[in-house]
Amino acid sequence: MPFPVYLAPSSLDLVFETLLANPEAKVLAGGTDLLLAIRKNKSRPTHLIDLAQVPGLDEILEEGHQIRIGSMVKISHLANNPTIRRNFPSLATATKSLGSWQIRNAATIGGNLCNAAPSAELAPALLTLQATAIITGPTGDRELAIGAFFKGPGQCDLAPGEILREILIPFPPAGCKTAYYKHSLRQTMDLALVNVAVLLVEKDGVIEQCRVALGAVAPVPMRAQKAEKIVVGYPLTSERIVQAAEAAASECRPITDIRATADYRRHMIKVLVNQALSSWAKGGV
Amino acid sequence: MKKEPICLIINGDSYDLFVPTHRTLLDVLREDLGLMGTKKGCGEGECGACTVLLDGQPVNSCLVLAIQAVGKKITTIEGLASGNQLHPLQEAFVQHGAIQCGFCSPGFILTAKALLDSNPAPTEQEVREAVAGNLCRCTGYQNIIEAILAAAKEMGDAKNA
Amino acid sequence: MPEYKVIGKPIIPPEAYLKATGQAQFTCDIKLPGMLWGKVLRSPLAHAKIHFIDTSKAAKMPGVKAVVTFKDTPGLPFGTGIIDDWTIFARDKVRFVGDEVAAVAAVDEDTATEALSLIRVEYEELPAVIDIEQALRPEAPLVHQHAPGNLANRFFVERGNIEQAFTKADFIVEDTFTTTQVYQAYLETMNAVAHAQNGKITLWASTQVPSKLRLTYAKALNIPMQDIRVIKPFVGGGFGAKFENMVDLAAMVLSEKSSRPVKIVNTREEDFIAGNPRVPMKIWVKLGLKKDGTILAKEVRIIAGNGARTVYGPPIMATACYRIDSLYRIHNIRTEGLLVYTNTVPTGCFRGFGNAQMTFALESLLDRAAYEMGLDPAEVRLINAVQSGDVSAHGWYISRSGLTDCIRKATEASDWEAKRLSPKEGKIKKGIGLACCNHVSGNRPFFRPFDGSAAIIRIGEDGKAFLIHGESDIGQGQNTVFAQIAAESLGIPFQDITVAEVDTQISPFGLGSFATRGTVMGGNGIIAACQQAKQMILNHAAAMLAKPADNLDIVEGKIIVKDTPDQHITVAEVTRNYMFSHGGAPMIAVGNYVPDTVLPDDKRYGNISPVYPFGCQIAEVEVNTETGQVQVTGFWAAHDVGRVINSLTLPGQVHGGVATGIGWALSENMIYDSNGHIQNPGFLDYRIPGSLDLPNQFHAIFIESDDPKGPFGAKGIGEPALNPTAAAVANAVYNAIGVRINQLPLTPEKILAALRGKND
């Protein structure tokens, strides 16, 4: 049970170099999942590359039409950021539902996304907000829609030497409303059995944009496009809400595990999508 | 096993250590420094018994490598009282029957301290949310919540006096 | 009621200061010079033959000081005094995932862990039996050769004539209930420090039963009891789990082999897979009632899971079978219980000891009967409630029953009637449910040689008392209650009492913390010792003052002359004078209490406890009919505690018991796969309630029935606090949504399925 060698490079170039030199190395962000996986022998990296000493990765910057979130920004930092709370309420709600205060003080947005759990708290909100992942590596930067970043449970689109550097989120248009709902058995300190984020833009009594994202019901967080199509272009009536919720339930692909059955997850998708859209219809969201 | 020389600042004292890089802060506190007030309840970040404050913020010390805590101000339960003068939270836990077996108490008290430092007059709901990462099997939490609210009041009164 | 100076007061446990500052030393905090870390190699298979174990590589690893297997032990089968189906480490077979195969002691934890991976074990996997009902089938694999049919134990009791009684019944109801294997979830995992020196072993143990450990381990190690010294530091919770266990024994064997102190601390996962969780049960109950709700007959069949070896399964099953028959006036009874071996973790005690399981079944079914007969469930309980002076069907003498008062006070405080009958509308439905319980304070057949307790009081030249007992404070505040009882009995201030931690070299043989016995047994033993000590003080004072001893009394640390109130000397003056006139001997009194209980005969007739506590709990819930989630929003727990000894710590006992009961009712369950692996061996997926999952207020209500056999009238509270909780919650769910779920836990999925079933 050899424990990995810990390294904390002080620049991105050194990070790339170390990663390339050690193909079995893993990047250490908050460590709340990775350290545990190593201790339980579920992950056996040769090296741990801590990003904590790389400058600039833990900043939240507003720039014109978008916000830039460094991958090492802690969840608690995100949860308390006034810009996030004001402009991205679904993301703020999602951050607050993650783990405990202790976990949020250690865990990072980059870790939550790169861990690529199907139930990742932040993913559905970021999907509906059309966030972009900025990936950086030895050959330069590339941008990827967040939806394309997830490849499967525990797998994301990172080539050897690459890391997730930042998340970009465009400020939503005026009149846009977002919401995040998580269902778990305990009120806190629990994984999502399912989670749902929605984003809606209404113009002249008609839904102009609708994005619905679902977590923990497929190998990767997914958009519920059938549900979205039912809503876009029409006034949001209770009939449409019911239809959209049913569509979302039918298009998700949940599994049964010890936490819940596939049927229950599907049912809860219907309930949560319905709740999210209904609260909007009532002016809540 | 790779070892590194590190310096940790714990409760205002600095400690020079030579530790394996994979050693957790919890293990360094308990096994290397004998600061046994920090408890290991699960080693998986799920129970909060090993809570310490890093720069004033509660973390599970079982999920932090000692080397990651370099340069940060670490507060453990041993650093809370000043001499024989207990911190108002410690006193409140004692007075309100918030301590039974006592194994979870250090973690609760430190989480509560971080809460009151940033939010001196929390509501009951805010207290319950703040300590949701600390498990207790003896008390059903009620006396713990009451103790934290009482300490908040006590500290507020002392400030205003 | 007499006015007491210390009894009934909100006295702070002095050790709370140590616990609040991190200074309290638990077993896992002990560090001895030269101490090694021990680790246990556990079976990855539920059932397998061991062909060979090769420890040579591990033994050669630098830093490893001892590697032990069955061959390093005396090899004698032993047990907790019931069935000798234990060995220290597996002999030729492993019988559950987590079974102890070998252990290593090394200079540090990392080295010990690495050494474990170097031990090679060749297993031949055997078919395993996981489910308790399947274990009884003829084709089921045998867990132990000595137990054909996997039957570990059978219990049978019959009273009256149930056939006749059922024919007289106006209403008959029957159903089957499943209670789960749940984990005690104390925050300090099982751990031990052992130090073998000069042929003797000192064991620092996180335990509820220090003296019992010494007895069992002496047999297991084949050494005289005298050669084992058990010391109990602070214990981070037990709730029934911390009896004899293999962690202690592995540490002792490793220390013997390495001649160094050895510490073993279970990881949380090890504690889940190889601790001793609650005995799971399948319970069929049939009740016959009269129109007014009077219970005429009760028939019960139980299948209980013992796991792969016997911890305390037989008495736990026995308790499930017959203890509840002293809750109500039932006289026609037939109960059969079968305890079965399976290839799963051995099960043991958990707050409630079998009575909690049966309480869930009976109180759920009685509730159903009440509703189906159109009666108020509270009224049905009141009609049947045992009363002071009753002798139950099994011969138990109920000197005081506060059950009726418990039901009355709980229903009043919770606004029972109005809430129960309120219309259930909307998506989130509110409901209220009630359940009662009885229990014991001591269990005469548990340890056949005796029940009772003893205490030693040592008063030195300063007039302060050192109280030595052999029971076991595991965090419930027992030592504080004992010190209060001693202070009140001696007439000296609470602060003048110091309670010694249990050390079997000095302490009396104490049975320990189980069966809700501490306050009553320990307390009565302390009163006996104090009475003697007091008499010694008064006799010596009488000589000093030249007054007759019966004209003297002790009040607040002073000896007063009853007819000359202004004349007094202090206790310290008397005990100092005594010491200096007795060659330096402190005043020592040894007192003991032997309860007037009756060991049950071969027909199970007896009287197992001196006093019997009772309780009634009411839960208020909200059931979300869309998600199936249940939230307990209000809780009223009325308990007949005889007398409140400590008004600060007593409510906390109730809060904690109820919280654990709510976890059992709603979320907790150890889930196995078909190969016998527990799927949720951690706090993430084994969900104990957190601070947001419980009602904001528990209302603890205490009925003081002043039992003449209890110390200052007191009865115990530990287990009753949990016994009725799950049934109260389930009954509240029924009241809210009109469906009953008989299988714990009441998960959202089961609630939704039941609702669908109802609407179909």
pLDDT digits (tens, 9 = 90+) for C307-342: 999 999 999 999 999 999 999 999 999 999 999 999
Q: Which chain C residues are within 8 Å of A96, Cβ to Cβ?
A: none
Cα–Cα dist C109/C128, whole Å: 32
Query: Which tokens go with A275?
Result: 């709740």
CA-wise closest residue to B11 among B72, B68, B66, B59: B72
Q: Tell me whether B70 touches chain A (CB under 8 Å).
A: no
CA-wise closest residue to C319 among C443, C188, C437: C443
Q: Best mutation site among C12, C17, C18, C19 for testing chain B: the one with the most B CBs within 10 Å? A: C19
pLDDT digits (tens, 9 = 90+) for A60-109: 999 999 999 999 999 999 999 999 999 999 999 999 999 999 999 999 99
Which residues 128-157 of B have a C-beta within 8 angstroms of C? 128-129, 131-145
Q: Which chain C residues are within 8 Å of A185, Cβ to Cβ?
A: 629, 667, 687, 747-748
Query: Counting Cβ atoms within 10 Å, is residue A218 exposed (0-12), middle (13-18) or buried (19+)?
Result: middle
- For CA atoms C449, C306, C667, C410, the dihedral sign is negative
pTM (global) more than 0.90: yes
Q: Best mutation site among B1, B21, B53, B67 for testing chain A: the one with the most A CBs within 10 Å? A: B21
> What pLDDT does A187 receive?
83
Tally the C-alpha atoms within 13 A of residue C666's C-alpha that lie toward its C-beta. Answer: 30
Q: Tell me whether C267 touches chain A (CB under 8 Å).
A: no
Cα–Cα dist C375/C392, whole Å: 25
Q: Which chain C residues are within 8 Å of A267, Cβ to Cβ?
A: 752
Q: Tell me, what DSSP letter sits at residue C515? A: T
The pLDDT profile of chain A, 285 residues, written as one tens digit per residue, is 568 999 999 999 999 999 999 999 999 999 999 999 998 889 999 999 999 999 999 999 999 999 999 999 999 999 999 999 999 999 999 999 999 999 999 999 999 999 999 999 999 999 999 999 999 999 999 999 999 999 999 999 999 999 999 999 999 988 899 999 999 988 888 899 999 999 999 999 999 999 999 999 999 999 999 999 999 999 999 999 999 999 999 999 999 999 999 999 999 999 999 999 998 777 654
Q: Best mutation site among B22, B67, B108, B136 for testing chain A: the one with the most A CBs within 10 Å? A: B22
Q: Tell me whether B38 touches chain C (CB under 8 Å).
A: yes
Taking an 8 Å cut-off on Cβ atoms, the answer to whether A186 and C748 are in contact is: no
Q: Which chain C residues are within 8 Å of A262, Cβ to Cβ?
A: none
Taking an 8 Å cut-off on Cβ atoms, the answer to whether A101 and B1 are in contact is: no
Judged against a pLDDT cut of 70, whether residue C411 lies above it is answered with yes
> What pLDDT does A285 receive?
47
pLDDT digits (tens, 9 = 90+) for C340-350: 999 999 999 99
- For CA atoms A70, A76, A80, A85, the dihedral sign is positive
Taking an 8 Å cut-off on Cβ atoms, the answer to whether A4 and B22 are in contact is: yes
Query: Which tokens go with A163?
Result: 């890391």
With contact defined as 3+ CB pairs under 8 Å, the chains touching A are B, C
Q: Minimal Cα–Cα distance from B71 to chain C, Å?
A: 24
Spatial CB neighbours of C423, under 8 Å, sequence gap ≥ 6: none
Dihedral pair phi/psi, residue C657, rounded to 5°: -65, -45
Helix, strand, coil share (%) of chain C residues, nearest 5: 30, 25, 45
pLDDT digits (tens, 9 = 90+) for B77-118: 999 999 889 999 999 999 999 999 999 999 999 999 999 999
- Reported in sequence order, the residue ranges of chain A that DSSP labels E, i.e. its strands, are 5-7, 26-28, 47-50, 60-63, 66-70, 132-137, 140-145, 150-152, 155-156, 163-170, 176-183, 194-203, 206-215, 222-223
Task: Nearest chain B residue to C20 by CA: give it.
Answer: B90
Strands A47-50 and A26-28: parallel
Judged against a pLDDT cut of 90, whether residue B159 lies above it is answered with no
